Amino acid sequence: MTTATPWIPFIDPLYAVVPHLSQWWFLGLFPMLVAILVVYRTVRLPPSSSLKKIFISSFWAFLICVVAVAVICLGLLLFYHVASRHLSLPLG
């Protein structure tokens, strides 16, 4: 028996509509990264900078972050693979 609360958009807006969202929670990090980088680059660049310059600068910063994360993740995956398969380290 479960006293489940009825779906109210204000309480369970997206998760109730897309229940498997919890498996893709990390995709939410991308819009957050975009917002952080745009605000950060806008603060760093001089006030007279053009919109185009701000967004191009943010885009490059975003690409650098994504590539850096991909390289780190691939490196870690490779490390775990080698350590667990070939070196028999107990890494789970």
Partner 1 sequence: MAATTANSQSNPKEYVALVLGWLVPGAGHIMLGDRKRGIIFMVFIHLLFFAGLLLGGIRALDRPRQQLWDYAQMVAGWPSLVGNMVRPQVIKEDVAVIRKPDGKLQKLHHPPDFAPQVQEVATTFCGVAGMLNLLVLVDLFMWIAAGEWAPVTPSPGDAT
Site for partner 1, rule CB under 8 A? 1-5, 8, 10-16, 19, 21-22, 25, 28-29, 31-32, 35-36, 38-40, 42-43, 46-49, 51, 54
Residue 73 in tokens: 């993740």
- Rounded to the nearest angstrom, the gap between the alpha carbon of residue 48 and the centroid of all alpha carbons in its chain is 30
Question: What sign does the CA torsion over 39, 40, 42, 43 have?
Answer: positive
Q: Say how far apart CA 34 and CA 59 lie, in whole Å.
A: 8
The least CB distance from residue 29 to partner 1, in Å, is 7
For partner 1, the closer CB: 21 or 91: 21
Q: What is the nearest approach in angstroms of partner 1 to the Cβ of residue 49?
A: 6
